[in-house]
Amino acid sequence: MNMTDNTHNKSTMAGFFLDGWYVFDNFAPCQIEWRGVLYPTSEHAYQAAHFFDTNPARAEQVRL
C-alpha cells in the first residue's frame, strides 16, 4: 500500500473500542472468573489459556 492508496480509511479499519464502547474491549478493566480463577481482564484469561496445559506457572504469571 502506498501513501496515495485510499482504499483503507478510518471508516473501514478496525480499532480499539473507545468512549461508551470500551466495556466491550478485551482490555477493559472488568474482572472475569474462568475455571475458578479471577483475572483482571478477559485478555488476561485469554493469554493465560495458552499455558494452562503446558506451563501452569506461566499461566499464573499472566494472570497477575
SS3 59: helix
SS3 45: helix
Q: In angstroms, rounded to a whole number, what is the distance separating the alpha carbons of residues 42 and 32? A: 6
Q: What is the pLDDT of residue 3?
A: 53
pLDDT beneath 70, residues of the chain: 1-18
Q: What is the pLDDT of residue 7?
A: 57
Start-to-end CA distance of the chain, whole Å, equals 39
Q: What is the pLDDT of residues 37-53, one digit of tens each?
A: 999 999 999 999 999 99
Q: What is the pLDDT of residue 17?
A: 60
Q: What is the pLDDT of residue 25?
A: 83
Closest CA to 29 of 21, 17, 39: 39
